[in-house]
Structure 1
Amino acid sequence: MQVGDKIVFGNHDWRVLDIKTDRALIITERIIEQCPYHEAYTDITWADCSLREYLNGEFYNTFATVDKSRIIPVLNKNLNNQWYGTDGGVDTRDSIFLLSLDEVCRYFGDSTEKLYNKGKNQRYWFERKDENNSKRLARLQGSEWCWWWWLRSPGRVNIKAAYIWGTDGTIGIQGNNILKGNISDGKCTGGVRPALWLKL
């Protein structure tokens, strides 16, 4: 197994993002579903959001027992938003999780320098000319069109969460409304690309 490989695990196709001695970090190749980051419009962090509860409960339980034995629970650092300083919340122990701003910048090419060195004219979006943007695009399961997907990091305030824009893969560091994304989207909510550490 190598970084960049596509593998099948459980009922989904996954992409390998990182490999350690005995484990690999993988993320679903496609957006597996659409749902809100949280079930209510209120200040929230990853630790207490309904999407985390769903991923580590109902979604986790879709895996067979033998597959569950290969999913390694990890302690995730939930950093404050690097541009706005918004509270990232406490560290969490997760079996299934979403990527953070820092992780999505490290694992889809290396854009960390741009994350930690905000341009003077940047306010809402991560660098639009980032050469790694296209690597973050993802298609909806069962569809050939791309959609935006959630990160676990907070946006500009804690009623928003960071995301990857579905048109060009740009990082929406200011964030989208946790309940249903942009108000103009109506009932269309953010995409979910679960990630996990897999025992090798």
Structure 2
Amino acid sequence: MKNFKEIGVKIIATSLMAAMAMSHVACKKEAEETAGQSFTAPSAQSRTFTGIANAADAKAGDIIIFGSYEQDNDLSNGAEDIEWLVLDNTDGKLLVISKSVLNYMRFSNTTTVWEYSDLRTWLNGEFYDSAFSDDEKSSIALSVVDNPGNPYYGTSAGSGTNDNVFCLSYDEACTYFFFNNWNDSSLSGNSESIIGSPSVWTKKEKLASAYAITEGYYNAVLFNYGFSANCIGVEGCDWWLRTSGQDGDHACIVGMYGSVNASETSSITVAKGVRPAMYIEY
């Protein structure tokens, strides 16, 4: 039997006030320390690593090629390599999230509790089994995933879980991505680097709702948020976070054009994008 290291996901909320304070500090500190650097977004300075042989050298913003999954909607050429965006490299493990939105599905039909969600079942079952070889699986850590409540509504996301693959929480999204702007009072901000573009397969087969950023929308809205003109033409779609929303029928999402808000939620029965995240040990 494979031995897994148990890894704690970084943000743990012990109370509503603690969660709110941590969210404020994490996002605000990130924006202050990295203003003008979308360090978690692939760029001309990003490096690409094939496999984990040299993973120790990877930095936030780099790309790791690891595993494979259908993305171009051409089944005749097999599954495509998955590109993972590095969010953190600490203590011999990489926290990564898929560069693209790889699926489009509901959170659950009945509950916002991550432990019992359809999304968690799919990620740790069908996706995990099909996307990775046995050798690759041996490098994916079984992580102790804490599920802090929603800092705006005070709703619970349930108990912690042991997951190979998971969705980021609202707090983690705030911590690991650079925000072009942030509002403490509304627990909301906008991040160019967090925009998730769907794969061709996700759009064609899963009918993901994706819309390209027009020059007009950029000039009227996103320019004022501090986004660069590089985002013009980028397709974005909403994607799931694992944090609960205002009630038992809603969960948090990242908006298609990079908005993150503790009160920005979707009905759990509506299909949204999925960007798997995980820890890779090296």
The TM tier, using the shorter chain, reads 0.7 to 0.9
Q: Distance in 2 between matches of 1:43 and 1:68?
A: 29
Letter in 1 for 2:167: L
Q: Residues 102-153 of structure 1: CA distance to partner in whole angstroms, max 9, x if unpaired?
A: 0000000269x85xx4x1xx4xxx53xx3x5211101001276211100000
> Do the aligned residues in 2 keep the contact of 1:13 with 1:29 (CA within 8 Å)?
yes
TM-score by length of 2: 0.60
* 2:87 aligned with 1:25: no
* 2:197 aligned with 1:139: yes
Equivalent residues in 2 for 1:180-195 (5 A)? Answer: 180=270, 189-195=271-277
Q: Which residue of 2 aligns with 1:186?
A: none
Higher relative contact order (CA 8 A, sep 6+): 1
Cα 1:93–1:110 change in 2 (3 A) is farther
Q: Secondary structure at the match of 1:34?
A: strand
Letter in 2 for 1:197: Y
Q: Which has the higher mean CA deviation after the structures are superposed, 91-100 or 132-141?
A: 132-141
Q: CA deviation at 1:172?
A: 4.2
TM-score by length of 1: 0.83
Q: Which residue of 2 aligns with 1:47?
A: 115
> What is the Cα-based RMSD across aligned positions, in Å?
1.7
Q: Residues 59-116 of structure 1: CA distance to partner in whole angstroms, max 9, x if unpaired?
A: 11011101000000111110010010011100111100000000000000269x85xx
Q: How many residues align structurally?
A: 177
Q: CA deviation at 1:155?
A: 0.9
Q: Which residue of 1 aligns with 2:166?
A: 97
Equivalent residues in 2 for 1:106-145 (5 A)? Answer: 106-109=175-178, 114=183, 117=184, 119=185, 122=186, 126-127=187-188, 130=189, 132-142=190-200, 145=235
Q: Secondary structure at the match of 1:72?
A: coil
User: Of the candidates 242, 252, 264, which is equivalent to residue 162 of structure 1?
Assistant: 252
Q: Distance in 2 between matches of 1:32 and 1:164?
A: 15
Which ranges in structure 1 are unaligned for 5 or more consecutive residues? Answer: 181-188
Which ranges in structure 2 are unaligned for 5 or more consecutive residues? Answer: 1-57, 69-81, 204-233
Q: Distance in 2 between matches of 1:85 and 1:23?
A: 31
Q: Distance in 1 between matches of 2:112 and 2:236?
A: 27
Letter in 1 for 2:126: E
Letter in 2 for 1:169: G
Q: Could you say which structure has the higher helix fraction?
A: 2
Q: Residues 15-38 of structure 1: CA distance to partner in whole angstroms, max 9, x if unpaired?
A: 000111211000000000100001
